[in-house]
Chains A and B, each alone.
Chain A
């Protein structure tokens, strides 16, 4: 019998602390599969964020660093520049990348740093208990917007891919989702391209992954995946937002 599917080597064989049905685990696995397929585990260094995925440093078999809240792209810049042979990726949530770490995100993109960023957008602060995030949808009920996000008071969600695509710096920006098998396979392709870009020295690649948070959305895991289709994807359309290799 041939093995069709098994745990990738780059993913540590430990229980993940995430809630049941949280799609962080799927994205962890996709990153690990790509590291395996490119054969770069020995020279890959990951940078973990602050947020639900703060303990990502325990879940990958490559070397990992924990950055201060939001500073993962700055840490990754240092690691990459000190030895460009390293393959450096950051794994960040929306509270880390799109809120406190916005400056580091924008400037590393503007500099076209040769790093890979995996950005998990689940429209809420998961670890701290479900508060409104910069990416929470208009009208979305959270702990700190119990009547729904009021855009006249709290402003509008930040669309990271669209915003960064206005810069001349970034090499590759794509938004994907992991709410069904087809989207997971597309997400894998995008993550692989983001790593390949770095291996080939092309520059800043960011993949935004629309992810679920069943616990803080107050839904079953199945309903949360449906909610991505119904609410998240219409507001955050999937697709490639910048790909300079396609422009050339």
Chain B
């Protein structure tokens, strides 16, 4: 079980983390808009997270903290 923390207000909704995740943990929140006006990323299936940090490796804005 791993823990993901997002700096949601800095997310630009590019989705590179969503594509990088091998377990389908992440999705862009289509029902939310952050203060920058983007649909931010959220963990929709955090229980499946293996803490590989592929999402954080591909995040251009360094908004993801991964703990395991």
Q: Is the CB of A24 within 8 A of B60?
A: yes
Q: Chain B's nearest CB lies how many Å from the CB of A212?
A: 9
A29 to B54 alpha-carbon distance, docked (Å): 14
Can you list 19 pairs linking A and B with CB atoms under 8 Å apart? A4-B66, A5-B53, A5-B64, A5-B65, A6-B66, A7-B62, A7-B65, A15-B10, A18-B60, A21-B12, A21-B60, A25-B61, A25-B62, A26-B57, A26-B60, A181-B20, A181-B58, A214-B14, A225-B16
Q: A6-B65, A25-B60, A29-B62 are in contact. List 17 more A-B contacts (CB 8 A).
A: A3-B65, A4-B51, A4-B66, A4-B68, A7-B65, A15-B36, A15-B61, A19-B12, A20-B13, A21-B60, A180-B20, A181-B54, A184-B57, A214-B14, A221-B16, A222-B16, A225-B16
Which residues of B does A touch, CB under 8 Å? 2-3, 10, 12-16, 19-20, 36, 38, 51, 53-54, 56-62, 64-68
Chain B residue nearest to A19 in the complex (CB): B12
8 Å CB interface, A16-35 against B: 16, 18-26, 29
Q: Which residues of B contact A24 (CB under 8 A)?
A: 60
CB of A1 closer than 8 Å to a CB of B:
yes
Inter-chain CA distance A214–B14, complex, in Å, is 10
Which residues in A have some Cβ–Cβ distance to B below 8 Å?
A: 1-7, 11, 15-16, 18-26, 29, 180-181, 184-185, 214, 220-222, 225
- In contact, B57 and A222 (Cβ under 8 angstroms): no
In the complex, the answer to whether B60 meets A22 with C-beta atoms within 8 Å is: yes
A-B pairs with the 7 shortest C-beta distances?
A25-B60, A21-B14, A20-B12, A5-B53, A20-B14, A5-B66, A5-B56
Instruction: Identify the closest chain A residue to B60 (Cβ).
Output: A25
Taken together as a complex, chains A and B put the C-alpha atoms of A184 and B64 apart, in Å, by 16
- Shortest CB–CB separation between residue B22 and chain A, in angstroms? 9
Shortest Cβ gap from A187 to chain B (Å): 10
Q: Which residues of A contact B57 (CB under 8 A)?
A: 5, 26, 181, 184-185
Given the complex of chains A and B, what is the CA–CA distance between A21 and B53 in angstroms?
17
Task: Give chain A nearest CB distance to B48 CB in angstroms.
Answer: 16
Chain A: which residue is nearest B65 at the CB level?
A6
Decide if A222 touches B15 in the complex (CB within 8 Å): yes
